[in-house]
Structure 1
Amino acid sequence: MKRSFLSFLVDQWSVVPPVETTDLSGKTVLVVGANVGLGLEASKHFARMQPARLIIACRSEAKGKAALTEIKQETGYNGCELWIIDLANFASVTAFADKFEKEGGDLHILVMNAGILQPVYQSTTDGWESTLQVNHIATSLLSLLLIPRLVAAGRNSSTPSRLVLVSSGVHHYVKPTKEVKTSSKPLEMLSSAEWCIPEHMHSRFFESKLFNLFFIRALTDRLQSITPLSAVAVAPGYSYSQLRRFWYEKPTFSFVRIGLAIQERLLAWTSEQGSRQLVFGAVGGRDNEENMKGGYVSVSRLVEVADFVLSDEGHKMQDAVWNETIDILSSVSDKIAPIVQDYLVVPDSSTN
């Protein structure tokens, strides 16, 4: 599918479907990146569905506590918990997963919403370019580490669990270079000094959202069909969020900031409207669960991904990103290899 600017405008000016609702009694929901914007609004929607437990995972304890108060005040829900995680630090991610293994129990819905848009190079303490680590590598790490809890919940429930990754429609506009497309280690290449120059960094967020989609599709290819877990990618649409705060926080006058403000006023959905896509990915489409597996949600419906993702080149790059990601994560946590061995299979080369 090719996505034109006109189709983007049509979506942004369309009426956003109402939020999907269901009864979450007895279920545990975890939203990562929930203190502001889309994650906070999605958490409010989940709270209104009365889950047994709603865990919001945030980097900042102060902002997380403020979110807890806001959720309680607006929904009346008392079961919300704050857990701390920093995706820019692998040790924080593995510690979070260890804590969940001990205290979390079964996990019915996992929404991986945390992400950053960092247009200038910044390295994490783990040595990776920050956008790649937060948006893809650490997001994949936590998702895989929590698969045993998701599968356990699906087996003990009448419905499969859901893993929701927040991708974006911007994946349509990614045009990887030949060097990146054919590399056996595209992540290492993109994180190198050569590929973190300003000329390349402007597309880094777009690339990370493509990798989110690759992860969901590659994971689905490797999950046995009988596994009670559906992995879904969602595009929240162009919405008000904290992603673009890099430009708004600059103390000096900026034409980019003025342009963004005008663009948002004309096109952006509210954070609440954008959050409806996260909720749909988590609880929608239950009447056709097989189609939701590996699906891509936009405007509260399953839509086709970009042509590049469906192409032979796209499939090869998806496999390269998956293999490199697993290699990276296996060096971060000794639990990754057993999870891959116990819960995933070698995909059929005849299917994509």
Structure 2
Amino acid sequence: MGGQLGFMYRQLTFKPKPIPSSTRLDNKVAIITGANAGLGLETSREFISHGLAHLIIAVRDESKGEAARAELLRNVSNDSCRIEVWKVDQADLNGIVAFSERVETLPRLDIVILNAGVKYLNYEKSPSNHEMNVQVNHIGTSLVSLLLIPKLQASARKINAPARLTLVGSEGQFWCSFKEHSAPNVIERLDEQAAFPPAMERYYTTKLMTQLWTAELASRVTSDEVVITTVNPGLCASSLHRHDSSGALNFFLKIFAWTSEQGGHCLAHAATHGTSYVHGAYFSEQKKTEPCSFSTSSQGIKAQKKLWNETIDLLKKECPRASLTQFDKP
């Protein structure tokens, strides 16, 4: 894993498959962020076809979410699935708290897929003055994951079966230097405009951060309540690339990219495959595999804990209404 040539070979030779027809999601409730288009929408479609009872499309733009809902209602065979659109903007921390409070009103929650993400190639700041890739892909995603854990745990205890939390990562974790991990404060360094790198380096860095965050989160949550995984959906022709319209990318996508439907198969597989033995696992090409060597090295584990502590401190400072006491232990 990790080499560019190997990546291109796998993109050409491996074709993701739907989850088995025997996988049933009857009576289950799922939340998929960024599900108005692309991989999230296709995962929604696949889940509904397997008997999902209640789907929440969690999106920043509710009008786009409603359009996705209408499409799903037109094209799926499971007429009994309740589909709702809920607003959540990962650049708005207080909005994330409001979203989580609404989640608490659900009778149960079985599956969460944190798919929403961005790929900015130029420096841009969020309203809270964080670099936008870092804000959405790390800070916002981290807060959503923390705030939905209690509901997933409560649901697992209620039905005596573990719930699932899957965060969407990327093979790009293998391709970034992440030199910022040695800075006095990682997030502060990443927020500096002078530290913004060319091309896709920053996007890849935030996906390595997703891997580190998920590993630490999984170490703090027991697998008998919530099975936590990350998934590489592969290179897909999806709306993720909306800020990159270069001819070179379009040519590369035409040759190597999977469809959004195939990427959705990868997300659906990671969120339903196996039980506790995949807790903390990284999935790629629809199988459990090893993440990048940095993430499992002593240096990477040190960076993982440093990133965790920084992120918790930041969230407590910038979003004091969020209840994070469950994660205070060292």
TM-score (norm 2): 0.94
Shift of 1:234: 0.1
Residues 8 and 73 (structure 1 numbering): CA distance in 2 closer, same or farther, change over 3 Å? Answer: same
**Correspondence for 1:190:** 190
Alignment RMSD (CA, Å): 1.6
**Correspondence for 1:160:** 162
Which residue of the other structure, out of 205, 209, 212, is the alignment partner of 1:214?
Answer: 212
Shift of 1:317: 0.9
Amino acid at match of 2:206: S
Query: Runs of at least 4 residues of structure 1 off by over 6 A?
Result: none
CA distance in 2, matches of 1:50, 1:202: 38
Shift of 1:313: 1.2
Which residue of the other structure, out of 81, 91, 101, is the alignment partner of 2:94?
Answer: 91
SS in 2 for 1:156: helix
SS in 2 for 1:99: helix
Q: Are residue 100 (structure 1) and residue 97 (structure 2) matched?
A: no
CA distance in 1, matches of 2:240, 2:220: 31
Which residue of the other structure, out of 122, 125, 138, is the alignment partner of 2:124?
Answer: 122
The answer on whether the counterparts of 2:166 and 2:229 sit within 8 Å (CA) in structure 1 is: yes
SS in 2 for 1:80: strand
Residues 172 and 34 (structure 1 numbering): CA distance in 2 closer, same or farther, change over 3 Å? Answer: same
CA distance in 1, matches of 2:303, 2:42: 34
Q: Are residue 328 (structure 1) and residue 314 (structure 2) matched?
A: yes
SS in 2 for 1:107: coil
Alignment of 1:48-59 (within 5 A): 48-59=49-60
CA distance in 2, matches of 1:53, 1:142: 19
CA distance in 2, matches of 1:278, 1:34: 12
Shift of 1:333: 3.6
Shift of 1:85: 1.2
CA distance in 2, matches of 1:115, 1:195: 21
Shift of 1:201: 6.7
The answer on whether the counterparts of 2:173 and 2:207 sit within 8 Å (CA) in structure 1 is: yes
CA distance in 1, matches of 2:126, 2:4: 34
Amino acid at match of 1:69: A
**Correspondence for 1:175:** 177
Residues 129 and 201 (structure 1 numbering): CA distance in 2 closer, same or farther, change over 3 Å? Answer: farther
Q: Are residue 338 (structure 1) and residue 325 (structure 2) matched?
A: yes
Q: Are residue 8 (structure 1) and residue 10 (structure 2) matched?
A: no
CA distance in 2, matches of 1:67, 1:224: 34
- Which shows bigger deviation, 10-19 or 182-191? 10-19
CA distance in 2, matches of 1:156, 1:95: 24
CA distance in 2, matches of 1:57, 1:285: 25
Gaps of 5+ in 1: 249-256, 347-352
Aligned residues: 325
Shift of 1:334: 3.8
CA distance in 2, matches of 1:202, 1:281: 25
Q: Are residue 304 (structure 1) and residue 290 (structure 2) matched?
A: yes
Amino acid at match of 1:285: G
- Which shows bigger deviation, 36-45 or 87-96? 87-96
CA distance in 1, matches of 2:324, 2:66: 35
Amino acid at match of 2:257: A
Q: Are residue 112 (structure 1) and residue 114 (structure 2) matched?
A: yes
SS in 2 for 1:134: helix
The answer on whether the counterparts of 2:121 and 2:198 sit within 8 Å (CA) in structure 1 is: no
Which residue of the other structure, out of 213, 218, 238, is the alignment partner of 1:241?
Answer: 238
CA distance in 2, matches of 1:105, 1:24: 16
CA distance in 2, matches of 1:3, 1:121: 26
> What's the CA shift string for 1:213-239, capped at 9, x where partnerless?
1111011112245x4111100000011
The answer on whether the counterparts of 1:195 and 1:201 sit within 8 Å (CA) in structure 2 is: no
TM-score (norm 1): 0.88
Amino acid at match of 2:30: V
CA distance in 1, matches of 2:205, 2:155: 32
**Correspondence for 1:252:** none
SS in 1 for 2:244: helix
**Correspondence for 1:63:** 64
**Correspondence for 2:145:** 143
CA distance in 2, matches of 1:262, 1:204: 22
Shift of 1:158: 4.1
CA distance in 2, matches of 1:39, 1:335: 26
Shift of 1:337: 2.9
**Correspondence for 1:350:** none
Shift of 1:202: 4.0
- Which shows bigger deviation, 186-195 or 271-280? 186-195
CA distance in 1, matches of 2:37, 2:227: 26
**Correspondence for 2:249:** 260
The answer on whether the counterparts of 1:326 and 1:336 sit within 8 Å (CA) in structure 2 is: no
Shift of 1:167: 0.3
The answer on whether the counterparts of 2:236 and 2:260 sit within 8 Å (CA) in structure 1 is: yes
